[in-house]
Structure 1
Amino acid sequence: MIDWFSRIKKFYDDGRWIKEMVHDVVAVGRITPEQYEEITGEPYKLEPPTE
C-alpha cells in the first residue's frame, strides 16, 4: 500500500509540488483535509489555492 501522505509531503517539501497540486489529491481522496493543512500549513478550502 502506498503511503500517499509521506510521498506528497516529500514532493511538496522538495518544491516539486505546489499547493494546488496538494489540493487536488484531497479532492480525489488520497489525503485528508487535515493532512493538507499539515503539509502546507494552511487550512483546506474547497476553492483551490492560487500561488
Structure 2
Amino acid sequence: MTDFERIRLYYELKWATKEQLQKYVQFNVITPEEYKVITGEAYVQ
C-alpha cells in the first residue's frame, strides 16, 4: 500500500482530518494533486 492509498483510507475512515492531510503535503508525503483527489478540494497554503 502506498502512502497515498494509506492516507486516503485514513481520511475515508475519518482517522485523519483535512488539517492533517495538509501537513502530509507540507512534508512531501503526498502532493497537492493527491490532496485534491482525497478531499475533493484544492490544496491552499
Report if TM-score (shorter chain) is over 0.5: yes
Structure 2: unaligned runs, 5 residues or longer: none
Q: Which has the larger radius of gyration?
A: 1
Structure showing greater relative contact order (alpha-carbon pairs closer than 8 Å, 6 or more residues apart): 1
Root mean square deviation, CA, Å: 0.9
- In terms of fraction of residues, the more helix-rich structure is 2
Matched residue, 1:49: none
Structure 1 spans left out of the alignment, 5+ residues:
47-51
Runs of 4+ off more than 4 Å = none
Q: TM-score, normalised by structure 1?
A: 0.84
Aligned residues: 45
